[in-house]
Amino acid sequence: MADDAARPLEGTRIGWIGTGVMGCSMAGRLHAAGARVTVHTRTPEKAAALRNFGIGWVDDPRELLATSDLVFTMVGYPADVEEVYLGERGLVPALERSEAPLLIDMTTSAPALAARVDASARERGTCALDAPVSGGDVGAREGTLSIMVGGDLDAFERARPAFEVLGRTIVRQGAAGAGQHTKMVNQTLIATNMIGMCEGLLYAERAGLDPQGVLASVGGGAAGSWSVANLAPRILRGDFAPGFFVEHFIKDLGIALDEAHRMELALPGLALAKQLYEAVRAQGHGRAGTQALYLALRQLSARSGDAER
């Protein structure tokens, strides 16, 4: 029998909505930490692996409200977040004050929507945290995510034990919406870094270098980054499976650009990255991982070489 330290969530009741590339691993980690996890997903087959480990499943997400201390969501787009929380059959309209769980959205979504969900939840006797994450599929499996949280301080402390199972870096950034704003900073930093990483690999190959040897040199220096350490090796293996979907990254970049426009802030590098990723999607790689940017840049490079010849 595992001791309490190994199962820090023993007895905690958790509802989980959304079992995609990252959500499935995250729900599984909470279960392994002792929580009584029940999941809902629009596609029941996506929860099959979790159900095989004894995790419960419900057909209606609102059923989670009466049987959970914490309800987590990790869905795809802001429209999904709005539907899950504020829609006609959403969580917030179904809340009962006497048994309202804490709501925690880990989707990357719009800051204003996060604030609206929290305000609506407060009218029903609870509150909502926005807690988007960074770290991809690897971080989700290994519990090393960075979790960026916006919302009430007491609610943050209540959720901290679960966050500590999921992530290594957990920071409350401020009021509702602040977690989402922080994630926009994260995505802005990643976006242009991905361009440089892919172009660097193309340069190494065109110069006749051994890309593996190049990574060994540059990965530990000033050019090192999470993308260089985790995604560049995948590119060299020809592995473009999603740790994070291209189409979801485009969604994130769009949110960041909308927020920048609202704040009258020019971010030309971010705008360029979004254009390049839209080209990746147009080439049929929308459901590939973000490292598929390399494929689009390689094709562009090949066309440039043909034109010069």
Catalogue the active-site residues. 183
Query: Is residue 118 helix, strand or coil?
Result: helix
Query: Is residue 38 helix, strand or coil?
Result: strand
Backbone angles phi, psi at 222, to 5 degrees: -65, -20
> How are beta strands 133-134 and 145-150 bridged, if at all?
antiparallel
Asked whether the beta carbons of 98 and 118 are under 8 A apart, the reply is no
Task: Name the residue among 106, 266, 258 with its Cα closest to residue 183.
Answer: 106
Rounded Cα gap, residues 291 and 193, in angstroms? 11
Which of 222-252 are b and which e, b meaning 16 or more Cβ less than 10 Å from the residue's Cβ? eeebbbbebbbebbbeeebebbbbbbbbbbb
Asked whether the beta carbons of 148 and 173 are under 8 A apart, the reply is yes
